[in-house]
Amino acid sequence: MMDWTDRHCRFLHRLLTRRALVYTEMVTTGALLHGDVARHLQYGEEEHPVALQLGGSEPSDLAHCARLGQQWGYDEINLNCGCPSERVQRGAFGACLMAEPALVSDCVKAMVDVVGVPITVKHRIGINKNENYSFVRDFVGQVSEAGCSVFIVHARNAWLKGLSPKENRDTPPLRYETVHALKQEFPHLTIVINGGLADSSALRQQLAHVDGAMLGRAAYHNPWWLSEWDAAFFGEQPSAVTREQVEESMVVYMERQTRVKAEGWYSIARHMLGLRHGLPGARRWRQVWSDHRLKGEPPRAVMEKARQLGSVV
């Protein structure tokens, strides 16, 4: 999720789950070919397992960027074939690539040929208002032949005209049964479902039909939910971590970033504003951490103020 799942966000999420795979923001091939590679690819070792998501449609460019991703130590390279934004469409990648499965196959093969880490694809179940199952079935079938065995499927169509990216996350109807049908048709592939999943009960229902689930905004806005996952879905012991410990770890991280990167804490703190989601005093606590007037204060002092006001109900 561009501008959301940066390395600071991933650091927070890794404090809450050791087992779930975390993904970068979508990084375009142009940004890596012509921009600051380190700025786009740097991450903390504690983030593993971590996947790099690429946006692009030129096989040779994607191969070069996949090689960079492997050199930087990413555990997976993911190709975005699901983003519906007009800006991404103008770059001829994202969801519009679903109309060109042969090109996507060439892109996947070009990456598979140069790296040893898994190449995966994230996509929709269709584009515009074409709801024929054969469309997504043929897309998955053709791309899998190029060497992709993991498909992360957003269970909505992408309407390429007339809807904003936000509307594309809500307006096209969810059709989970289409994703289930893909797993039945391709039992040898790993099919991961995405879209509209907001609690652990919904996840369990879906995991009865598919191999995994990807969570986006629901996990971002309620990050504490992640603390349940290792026990609920990976067979680990229940986590003993508390919200206060997570907040303390984030403050230590902010202090370190301020010293090493000369980066203010404010852009880091935004990712944990949902940490106390649903608790009494959460709004007051959140208001302190998001108060731009406190940018000049050390993060530990801000934490103490947030806790004090957050405890007043």
- Asked if 53 and 100 sit in the same domain, the reply is yes
pLDDT mean across residues, the chain: 93
For the chain, what is the domain count? 2
Is the pTM higher than 0.75? The answer reads yes
Q: How many CB atoms lie within 10 A of CB 3?
A: 7
- Asked if 228 and 272 sit in the same domain, the reply is no
Residue 77 predicted with pLDDT over 80:
yes
Domain boundary at 234, 258, 293, which?
Answer: 234
* Helical segments of 186-265, H only: 200-207, 217-221, 229-234, 243-261
Q: What is the pLDDT of residues 17-36, one digit of tens each?
A: 999 999 999 999 999 999 99
- Asked if 121 and 269 sit in the same domain, the reply is no
Is residue 169 included in any domain, yes or no?
yes
- Asked if 29 and 174 sit in the same domain, the reply is yes
- Asked if 213 and 247 sit in the same domain, the reply is no
- Asked if 169 and 261 sit in the same domain, the reply is no
Is residue 1 included in any domain, yes or no?
no
Is residue 229 included in any domain, yes or no?
yes
CATH number, domain with residue 48: 3.20.20.70
Rg (CA), the chain: 20
- Asked if 288 and 185 sit in the same domain, the reply is no
Q: What percent of the chain has pLDDT over 90?
A: 84
Domain boundary at 191, 212, 234, which?
Answer: 234
pLDDT average, residue stretch 202-215: 97
* Helical segments of the chain, H only: 7-16, 29-34, 37-41, 59-71, 86-90, 101-112, 133-144, 165-168, 176-185, 200-207, 217-221, 229-234, 243-261, 266-269, 282-289, 299-310
Q: What is the pLDDT of residues 213-254, one digit of tens each?
A: 999 999 999 999 999 999 999 999 999 999 999 999 999 999
Q: Which pLDDT score is estimated for 253?
A: 96
| 89 — pLDDT class (breaks 50, 70, 90) | low
- Asked if 48 and 197 sit in the same domain, the reply is yes
Domain boundary at 173, 202, 234, which?
Answer: 234
Is residue 13 included in any domain, yes or no?
yes
pLDDT average, residue stretch 83-97: 71
- Asked if 229 and 148 sit in the same domain, the reply is yes
Q: What is the pLDDT of residues 113-141, one digit of tens each?
A: 999 999 999 999 999 888 999 999 999 99
Between 311 and 86, residue with greater pLDDT: 311
- Asked if 198 and 281 sit in the same domain, the reply is no
Is residue 2 included in any domain, yes or no?
no
- Asked if 204 and 263 sit in the same domain, the reply is no
Q: Which of 83, 96, 107, 148 is catalytic?
A: 83
**Phi/psi of residue 153, each to 5°?**
-115, 115
Residue 313 predicted with pLDDT over 60:
no
83 is catalytic: yes
Is residue 277 included in any domain, yes or no?
yes
Q: What is the pLDDT of residues 149-194, one digit of tens each?
A: 999 999 999 988 777 777 877 788 999 999 999 999 999 999 999 9
Domain range for 280 is 243-310
- Asked if 12 and 155 sit in the same domain, the reply is yes
pLDDT average, residue stretch 42-47: 95
